Amino acid sequence: MAGIAATVFDKAVIMAKDKFTEFENRNSLMGSYMALREGTNQLVTKTALEKARTSQERQVTIPVLKRYNATVHNQRGLNLPGDEPESDLVTLNWFTRGFTVKTREAVHQGNYISEAEYIAHQIQNGLRAVYQNNLVAGKESFDKMATDYLNASKTTALATTTLAGVTIAGGAYEIPQDKLYIYMPTLFMKNELQGPFHDVANYDAMAMRTYMSTMGSANQQNLEKLLSSQYDFGYSPHITVPANTLESHYMFGKGSYGVLDWIEYDCRSNGGYDGKGSWDGTYKYTTWEDPYGALWGVLVTMGPNESTIPGLERSYAMQMDFFKDTAFVKSYSSEAGKSETIKVNVKAPSTASQAA
């Protein structure tokens, strides 16, 4: 059974990736999480990434240098006072997520559904829950937590503006819908932010983007130009929209966020992607890379297991526990209330907004 177990596992995880194309296994978008993950290699150095991934314990802090106002001199001298910038330690907050897959070989003897297909189905549904759908307190999905992280990280010390129809409320700009992408370059400039940017919004925001993309160069007003390579768009079902608001957006520079993953030592103790135990025994620690490029630590246990199914009361079972720890990181800011993230709540077009 040992060799069979390894083969079934390998076949199942390959099949799980293929199942992402099936309608029954369709998934919600997870624009918040994917935008954060994309910038990991830009924000975190390769050395720090490797340390976080291979450390026997989860890394809890990252050293950074604080921004400071350098002393400006207007005369040469031998004993000029030197600046001594301060450093800081940014704390990483890790959270653990996992799901379990279980199968009994005897169940699939003469069954229309193969054991590998049964396992693949469970893996796919487990991934959907941990990445996209789960809202249970303390077990929220990665995209829900990424959305909450963006909201908690938004700039609350927004630069004031005289742009017609724009107000600031609740740590967000409120902008008329027809002026959003006309005003944003100015607001980015006033907040000292440079693109290109991620623009992560609620699903309904897609409608205005679609409308603007149809207004190309052949139209009287070329709105498509405003949606140029300046933005990388994403959408999440976890972005909530306040009352009397059409859209909510989180806009931030690409590479200003990252996602760190960590799996336990025993899953990779033999070096590379293999861990303790053996497929010839009762347990095996191993790793698996999911369709999003994240590595999971997997504990596979094999042996007799109780069941309430008649005839299978002491049948042979194989259980796979998939787990990984995740931490979100962002560009450091020593200035209270300032970050790379601007939140925008989009209001209905108004007469006042036409004045600009």
Query: Coil, helix or strand for 341?
Result: strand
**Coil, helix or strand for 126?**
helix
Residue 67 to residue 334: CA distance in whole angstroms: 7
Give the separation between CA 321 and CA 323, rounded to whole angstroms.
6
Pairing of strands 87-91, 167-169: unpaired
What pairs with residue 295 in β-bridges? 289
Q: What is the pLDDT of residue 3?
A: 45
Amino acid at 232: D
Instruction: Count CB-CB contacts under 10 A for residue 142.
Output: 26
Walk along the chain (356 residues) and give the pLDDT tens digit of each residue: 444 556 666 666 666 656 555 655 566 789 999 999 998 877 776 566 666 666 667 767 766 666 667 878 778 788 888 887 777 777 888 999 999 999 887 787 877 788 888 888 899 899 999 999 888 889 999 999 999 999 999 999 999 999 999 999 999 999 999 899 889 999 999 999 998 999 999 999 988 877 776 654 555 555 555 666 688 899 999 999 999 999 999 999 998 898 988 888 888 876 556 677 777 778 889 999 898 889 999 999 988 887 888 877 788 888 999 999 999 988 888 888 999 999 999 998 865 444 44
Which residues have a Cβ under 8 Å from the Cβ of 111 and sit 6 or more positions away? none
> How big is the chain by its Cα radius of gyration, in Å?
25
Residue with tokens 């194989």: 318
- Say what the pLDDT of residue 335 is: 85
- List Cα–Cα distances, 222 to 165, 188, 210, 217, 226, in angstroms: 22, 22, 13, 5, 8
Q: What does the DSSP 8-state code read for residue 1? A: -
Question: What's the first-to-final CA gap in the chain, in angstroms?
Answer: 73
Closest CA to 4 of 122, 109, 116, 111: 116
Nearest in space to 321 (alpha carbons), one of 21, 70, 119, 35: 119
